[in-house]
Structure 1
Amino acid sequence: MKMTSIALGLALMSLNAFAADTPTPPDAAKKPYVVKAPHGAERQDEYYWLRDDKRENPDMLGYLKAENAYADALLGPLKPVQDKLYEEIVARIKQDDASVPYRERGWWHYSRFEAGKDYPIHARRKDAPGIDARSILAANEAADFNGEEVLLDVNVLAAGKDYYAVGGRSLSQDNRLLAYSDDTNGRRQYTLRVKDLQSGKTLPDTIPGTAGYAVWADDNKTFFYIENDPETLLSTRVKKHVLGTDPKDDVLVYEETDDTFYMGVGRTRDDKYIVIGLDSTVSNETRYTPAAAPGAFQVLAPRARDVEYDADHHGGRWVIRTNADGARNFKIVTAADNSSSRKDWKDWVAHDPQVYIEEIELFDGHAAIAERSGGLERVRILKDGGASEYVKADESAYSMGLDANPEADSPWLRYSYTSLTTPATTYELNVQTGERRELKRQPVPGYDPANYVTERLWATARDGTKIPVSIVYRKGFEKNGKAAMLQYAYGSYGMSMDPGFSVTTVSLLDRGMAYALAHIRGGQEMGRAWYEDGKLLNKKNTFTDFIDVTGFLVKQGYAAPDRVAAHGGSAGGLLMGAVANMAPDAYRVILSQVPFVDVVTTMLDPTIPLTTNEYDEWGNPEQKPFYDYMLTYSPYDNLAKKAYPATFVGTGLWDSQVQYWEPAKYVARLRDLNTGSEPVVFRINMEAGHGGKSGRFRRYREQAEMYSFMLDRLGVGK
């Protein structure tokens, strides 16, 4: 039901500025509409009219604007808290910072920021004696830009635009031409452009509607790119462009007819081949052609359902990571240079049921393998002679992974390290001597990691499964069951949420809160089985894992039972909607960003971007067993007359991953059915898409607004 002004006023007593005039939330009109499934099932969707693919319907836009006006009014009294949070967060960011340079083809590449500016400057310096990553970092720190060549100043490109993002950047093999792409509304449909780095001029070759990156052939005038379907936005065609020709005449070199596959293009490690990678949830296919003389793309191994593989080429052979032959956690195989069949594959690194192989980077004389075991990441160095060793970690809960390593002939392996208390750090390890050196640790002004504690815990789910949990709090925190806590998770697509440092979380810890990261099923923190136990007809394990982690942490004294907030975005927003329906009493606040909450209707519509690619993640509801199962957890369909937690929902009008109408419909129906008095806020970014506003600092303003709402509802000091 809609909250009256009086009820809402009572719910917002802490917002004392609202004593006189409490705003009333918008009331979206109901219009009968039946959503039909091919097997005859029907559902009523009274808010279906809020969908407008062109984003032009004045009634729909009026409703969204009314929601923003309501959010402005409701959150207005919290503006001082929001401003304070924003100032704290931004104060922890070194404004004139720079990335760690990496060397490739005789140049050192990096990105840097200038104080007071929102966007990066992408630059490079010529390699020479005495020039290395450390010397360039020192020069950048001293604002010494002698010898620097600016590739792109994104601040200039973004001037006057409400939204601007640069996609992929690709240098021609002679280092003279830069192909880059940009997006001006957040829909992730990129326009490719080419800049001549000698003249500084942008060439007339402009190609809209692409996936955002290009791969150059060796002739330095030909590049390959992916053209997106204008309706579904799926990556469907690979085309070849020759500089100086009309893009309308670009040659089609490959078209994917199976709309369950994504597509990518790239070059192999040794630069010998240009490859097309085709990926679905449960199978892959690689096609390749010589970069020196591109022609027809040859299949490395034909796709087969439930056989996944990704391949690279180095040292005259293919090196392939695959789950073939029952290697659930993946193994590494090799194949001859001209291979075209799985029959050519030979095992190199055997499958281990306890170790999930995530990635491999090839070098002259050794390989670096990114693995997972026991819920933690590891990097293993495997030498050609068979000896192997692990890169050491210093904490019980951390994130470690391969960093930029573009040169295969280097003895130095770069890797990244972070934890909930340790800012992002880049190391390099000499594989031959064992020397390790720290290149850079993310500077965080005013932050001392010694003041904070991180733990790795194990919660028991209702089916007996042990769920890893990473938690952090400030020293002096008492596990007395009185504190407030924010719990975050994702739990889909096999994406692992590893414990990494966040400048925003510190503001919560300094106010006495705990922050917990639940490594629930649906990710791959515990290997491939962890993912498979959290998708399709096992999807509800994701939701119950999250709820059970909350119960465990409350029982252990990390939080008061009435002071827990939950946070998730995108598929994690589906998680938020599901747990709010299943266990509303377990949470005081739900924070849900760009949430995928209308699962059944979206998955029934193949015209919506990404739907067909994800049948093997969620199921195809055109098949009744999947339809029936989805219907048991879809947040929009399971809203009921009950008291819901305070809820903050955010979206972007131009989102192409989760369309704005999903959260819009969800909020409208939630307001109808909610019997409680806690507020529901719906914030719509009218100029952005899935990732929120562009720019370095704007997103922190959005997060500060959301956090101010959460802190108020949890009763946390300002």
Structure 2
Amino acid sequence: MTDKLSAPIAKKIPHSMTHHDHTRIDNYYWMRDDERQAEQVIAHLEKENHYVEQNMAPHKALQNALFEEMKGRIVKDDSSVPVKDGKYWYVSDVQGDDEYASHYRASDEQLSDKTLLLNINELAKGYEYYDVGEMTISPNDTTLAYSEDIDGRRIYTFRFKDLNKNTYLGDVLENTEGQLVWANDNKTVFYVKKDAQTLLGYQVYRHVLGTPQSDDSLVYEEQDRQFYMELGKSRDDSEIYIHLAATETSDVLALDANTPMGEFRRLLPRLEGHEFGIDRLAGEYFILSNNHAKNFRLLKANEQTIGDMSQWQELIAHREHILIEGMELFDSHFVITERELGQIRFVVHNYQGESYQLSFDDACYYAGVGYNPESSASTVRIHYSSLTTPSSVYDCDLTTGRKILRKQQQVLGDFDAKNYASERLFVTARDGVQVPVSLVYRKDTFHKDGTNPLLQYGYGSYGITIDPSFSSTTLSLLDRGFVYAIAHIRGSEMLGRNWYEQGKKTNKQNTFNDFIDVTRALIGQGYGHQDKIFASGGSAGGLLMGAIVNQAPELYLGVGVHVPFLDVLTTMLDESIPLTTNEYDEWGNPNEEAAYQTILQYSPYDNLTAQAYPNILVTTGLHDSQVQYWEPMKWVAKLRELKTDDNLLLFKTDMEAGHGGASGRFKSLQDKALEMAFFIALLSD
């Protein structure tokens, strides 16, 4: 494919920005419209969408075939594994061509008296976008609260339903984060309200059912905008928590759940650089802390000692090469999630000091602790999948470790796991560091002779680890001879906390170097043809894509850039934009000159230059509240102005969606089909 049709050309209006005696001229700054209503902006986005349609029209049959192929692998009638919470068992299911699930409960595991709680399909009628953020039921099981977002901005409204009468209450809570916690009196709830400008949650309100939202009481306001805020409840339901988390610092406030009119108290002093997670069971606090422990350690405290870290009792010491990622408390045992050399495992401990490991056999895989609402349970629910093993649900006996497979994702069509193989490699980066890579391919189409097309995915920010898990959609590429690779680059926590710190702030260039070096190594080792290499990433992974096409454009035939963070410097200098001030510990604060210069060196928008670029597909959502639509819009306009090639540059905006893309289980496949068709068509040109 080449850029033969007339591409939309944006007008240029110079906008000067000077910081630290350095001036930048942004010719496309005018594209920012916080209200998303400016006629010239909407008109240009629509021209870009039309341009996508024109260029992809010859491949519409392929795109449709891919969509039907992916949709055809999904079981139309499906249900979750029932989970017990209190006196009821809860389950969700989807039917036929429904985009969304329906939620039920019953008084036994066999669901003999299954009762409908919510049909999301009914709620979503009339909306192009619809998302339920959270469903939560009062402790006495009589009132359901759920939050809904109807435009993808992640601004949620709570509604309440009387489950005995099957009627809605008059209570409506607007402009929330979408999360709510019940006090133990069954009538008082706490929720987080958003800042209207930055869309950050910064205030906690108390609401009593039967009263208007205007009467709600502000119980806590966070003054430091670097902190994200969320609510929680202790494992034993005795306390309500306000969890505060900056990139490098944690804080928590607690309230007795039986006295909702009381005041929240800070459990321990806020200490810069101290990150921790906390829970409570049977009057004791369990704390995962990085105090003198980069990869975290587990400690215990009681009501008297929780405020004094020197009195905490250590249960699991810090280990240099093992990262503790989480804990789940039960009455008889506690389960610790650990990661060593990038691999997840679970260690089950009793309270007498004995322990054993739960492990899995695949070369590379994902595993995570599922929803376990009851501390009295004798089993822990585990979710598991690998690049060749569909998503599986296990109940593991806490005493014996015996794993019972409760369900495995059914993949329709001719899928047979034995036809596919996965590998785990370590690639040597330019500075000698060993970078993990997960690979999957179809055995009968893969030839390790450098002839296969290869798609490489990466993220590499915020310490978020992209574990290798099963994707039924990726089969459409594997069955066409693609190799799929995940580069576990620095900026994640795949190899522990240090792996993350080596990919942030002043070390951010390591993230980009790792991705590029993995590409070169995979070509060199025969996993992919040098002229058939593709890359894809979204959000902070979209920043990664923007950086690699500036720094090594010759390596890639096609690149997918999704909801991308591309104008890093301008965004991080603007405190009115969501997710700016509380991102300083990730990227650095460019109000400081050293951080300004660091970001300036890699910011994708600022480093576009007159050179040849790969074929590129960019996607975004007009209502994205995390990465604003104008970042990719500006980047595409500037790239069109500067690039010296005639390769394709397509920019598609979903005019109804936000950061998460289209809602619904089938509609979201259209975006995947578009990218796959874009890549596959390039191979035939």
Could you tell me the TM-score, scaled by structure 1's length? 0.94
Partner of 1:450: 418
> Residues of 2 paired with 1:277 and 1:622: CA distance?
28
> Residues of 1 paired with 2:55 and 2:579: CA distance?
35
Q: 1:688 aligns with which of 653, 657, 665?
A: 657
> Residues of 1 paired with 2:277 and 2:224: CA distance?
19
Matched, 1:503 2:472: yes
Partner of 2:533: 564
Deviations 1:298-339 (A, max 9, x none): 111111111111100012200000101x20000011111243
Equivalent residue runs for 1:297-312 within 5 Å: 297-312=264-279
Alpha-carbon contact 1:589-1:714 (below 8 Å) kept: no
Equivalent residue runs for 1:287-302 within 5 Å: 287-294=253-260, 295-302=262-269
Letter in 1 for 2:286: V
> Residues of 1 paired with 2:27 and 2:91: CA distance?
51
Q: 2:562 aligns with which of 593, 612, 625?
A: 593
Alpha-carbon contact 2:390-2:408 (below 8 Å) kept: yes
Contiguous gaps of at least 5 residues in structure 2: none
Letter in 1 for 2:184: D
CA RMSD of aligned residues (A): 1.1
Letter in 1 for 2:443: K
Equivalent residue runs for 1:370-449 within 5 Å: 370-446=337-413, 447-449=415-417
Give how far 1:433 is off: 3.2
> Residues of 2 paired with 1:574 and 1:202: CA distance?
44
SS in 2 for 1:468: strand
Letter in 1 for 2:144: L
Letter in 2 for 1:57: A
Partner of 1:118: 99
Partner of 1:16: none
Equivalent residue runs for 1:48-127 within 5 Å: 48-127=29-108
Matched, 1:276 2:278: no
Alpha-carbon contact 2:523-2:530 (below 8 Å) kept: yes
Alpha-carbon contact 1:26-1:66 (below 8 Å) kept: yes
Give how far 1:202 is off: 1.5
Give how far 1:342 is off: 2.3
Q: 1:173 aligns with which of 132, 139, 148?
A: 139
Deviations 1:496-515 (A, max 9, x none): 00000001100000001100
> Residues of 2 paired with 1:640 and 1:714: CA distance?
26
The worse-fitting range, judged by mean Cα deviation, of 378-387 and 555-564 is 378-387
> Residues of 2 paired with 1:433 and 1:354: CA distance?
27
Matched, 1:666 2:648: no
> Residues of 1 paired with 2:8 and 2:219: CA distance?
51
> Residues of 2 paired with 1:592 and 1:42: CA distance?
28
Deviations 1:588-637 (A, max 9, x none): 11100000000000000000001011000000000010100101100000
Equivalent residue runs for 1:343-358 within 5 Å: 343-358=310-325
Matched, 1:606 2:597: no
Q: 1:35 aligns with which of 1, 17, 21?
A: 17
Partner of 1:189: 155
SS in 2 for 1:622: coil
> Residues of 1 paired with 2:653 and 2:499: CA distance?
34
Matched, 1:637 2:606: yes
Q: 1:154 aligns with which of 115, 120, 132?
A: 120
Letter in 1 for 2:71: V
> Residues of 2 paired with 1:36 and 1:442: CA distance?
54
Alpha-carbon contact 2:616-2:648 (below 8 Å) kept: yes
SS in 2 for 1:414: strand
Equivalent residue runs for 1:295-334 within 5 Å: 295-324=262-291, 326-334=292-300
Q: Where has structure 1 moved over 4 Å in runs of 4 or more?
A: none
Letter in 1 for 2:457: Y
Give how far 1:285 is off: 0.7
Q: 1:490 aligns with which of 449, 452, 459?
A: 459
Matched, 1:11 2:2: yes
> Residues of 2 paired with 1:189 and 1:279: CA distance?
20
> Residues of 2 paired with 1:170 and 1:600: CA distance?
40
> Residues of 2 paired with 1:556 and 1:164: CA distance?
45
Deviations 1:175-199 (A, max 9, x none): 1111111001000000111111111
Alpha-carbon contact 1:592-1:648 (below 8 Å) kept: yes
SS in 1 for 2:237: coil
Partner of 1:624: 593
Letter in 2 for 1:462: R
> Residues of 1 paired with 2:684 and 2:515: CA distance?
23
> Residues of 1 paired with 2:479 and 2:547: CA distance?
30
SS in 1 for 2:668: helix
> Residues of 2 paired with 1:124 and 1:399: CA distance?
29
Equivalent residue runs for 1:246-265 within 5 Å: 246-265=212-231
> Residues of 2 paired with 1:248 and 1:625: CA distance?
45
Alpha-carbon contact 1:98-1:112 (below 8 Å) kept: yes
Letter in 2 for 1:420: L
Give how far 1:24 is off: 0.7
Give how far 1:214 is off: 0.8
Alpha-carbon contact 1:336-1:344 (below 8 Å) kept: no
> Residues of 1 paired with 2:87 and 2:303: CA distance?
28
Matched, 1:512 2:512: no
SS in 2 for 1:657: coil
Give how far 1:160 is off: 1.1
Deviations 1:193-212 (A, max 9, x none): 11111112121111111000
Alpha-carbon contact 2:358-2:401 (below 8 Å) kept: no
SS in 1 for 2:626: coil
Alpha-carbon contact 1:566-1:589 (below 8 Å) kept: yes
Matched, 1:24 2:15: no
SS in 2 for 1:327: coil
Letter in 2 for 1:620: N
Give how far 1:165 is off: 0.6
> Residues of 2 paired with 1:557 and 1:388: CA distance?
43
Give how far 1:268 is off: 0.4
Could you tell me the TM-score, scaled by structure 2's length? 0.98
> Residues of 2 paired with 1:435 and 1:65: CA distance?
56
Partner of 2:188: 222
Alpha-carbon contact 2:347-2:356 (below 8 Å) kept: yes
Letter in 1 for 2:681: D
> Residues of 1 paired with 2:648 and 2:71: CA distance?
28
> Residues of 2 paired with 1:250 and 1:653: CA distance?
32
> Residues of 2 paired with 1:208 and 1:410: CA distance?
36
Partner of 1:231: 197
Alpha-carbon contact 1:574-1:596 (below 8 Å) kept: yes
Give how far 1:365 is off: 2.1
Q: 2:332 aligns with which of 342, 360, 365?
A: 365
Q: 1:475 aligns with which of 443, 448, 467?
A: 443
Deviations 1:470-501 (A, max 9, x none): 00000121111011010001000000000000
Deviations 1:264-286 (A, max 9, x none): 11110000101110100011111
> Residues of 2 paired with 1:321 and 1:420: CA distance?
30
Contiguous gaps of at least 5 residues in structure 1: 1-9, 13-21, 137-145
SS in 2 for 1:42: strand
SS in 2 for 1:56: coil
- Matched pairs, number: 681
Identity %: 46
Give how far 1:435 is off: 2.7
> Residues of 2 paired with 1:695 and 1:434: CA distance?
36
Letter in 2 for 1:310: G
Equivalent residue runs for 1:134-153 within 5 Å: 135-136=110-111, 147-153=113-119
